[in-house]
Amino acid sequence: MLALDFAFFTPELISGYIVKGFIFSLQLTLVAMVGGIILGTLLALMRLSGRPWLVMPAAAYVNTMRSIPLVMVILWFFLLIPLVIGKPLGAETSAIITFTLFEAAYYSEIMRAGIQSISRGQVAAGYALGMSYRQTMGLIVLPQAFRNMLPVLLTQTIILFQDTSLVYAIGAYDLLKGFEIAGKNFNRPVETYLVAAVLYFIISFSLSMLVRKLQQRIAIVR
């Protein structure tokens, strides 16, 4: 019979082990989301440009990233970036760069679908008013594409948040790592992993609910 004891879960443990990791997981998620969406949008525009020298590198990048397991990308970047820039990089910085570049591939597919969902007539209307390509994209197409795709982008971000736990592969100090160390130090691994799982669940699930609410609101507006 499993005897669980949560008495060691004191505020001191939380502030000593968990908060630091939680902040990093959050930071990693947010930076990779914002950076990934920006980079992903650029990749999507490249793929839709109709110019082979832009389409091909963007397609190659996206397809490569989407074909390799994330944990391998994390490891490879951790090993390769120091070789490229010539000095060692902390696990945390490496993780942030990796996730931004990796998630960009997924966000770009979402943005591509979003851009394609905007009718050609909208583009024609922008051009007909004398707008440049940049203005037509920036003022007309992308805002609508982004709004239409917001629920999907956020869902991807929830997946991203869960995936940040994979940085254990390079030893970065994230939320899961905090629990792991606390579990080791207090010799209570089962309890700490259980609490970690519940925490990941609560965060992801409540975000999912939020996305669903948002989806309904967007459907009403349209």
Residue 51 or residue 87: which is nearer to other proteins going by CB? 51
Calpha distance 44→1 (Å, rounded) = 54
Residue 104 or residue 110: which is nearer to other proteins going by CB? 110
DSSP collapsed to 3 states, 82-95 = HHHHCCCCCHHHHH
CB 58, min distance to other proteins, A: 24
Helix (H) or strand (E) holding 139: none
Tell me if 41 sits within 8 A of 202, measured CB to CB: no
Distances, alpha carbon 164 to alpha carbons 24, 25, 100, 117, 175, in Å: 10, 6, 11, 30, 9
CB 207, min distance to other proteins, A: 24
The single-letter DSSP state of residue 162 is H
CB 222, min distance to other proteins, A: 7
CB 134, min distance to other proteins, A: 10
Residue 144 or residue 155: which is nearer to other proteins going by CB? 144
Distances, alpha carbon 124 to alpha carbons 44, 115, 131, 136, 219, in Å: 19, 14, 10, 9, 25
Q: Is the dihedral of CA 29, 31, 32, 38 positive or negative?
A: positive
Beta-strand ranges (E) seen in 100-206 are none
What is the C-alpha radius of gyration for the chain, rounded to an integer number of angstroms? Answer: 21
CB 216, min distance to other proteins, A: 17
- Which tokens hold the place of 95? 């993780």
Residue 111 or residue 170: which is nearer to other proteins going by CB? 111
Residue 10 or residue 132: which is nearer to other proteins going by CB? 132
Residue 133 or residue 201: which is nearer to other proteins going by CB? 133
Q: Which residues bind other proteins (CB under 8 A)?
A: 119, 121-122, 124-125, 127-132, 135, 139-140, 143-144, 147, 221-222
Tell me if 155 sits within 8 A of 109, measured CB to CB: no
CB 104, min distance to other proteins, A: 24
Tell me if 181 sits within 8 A of 21, measured CB to CB: no
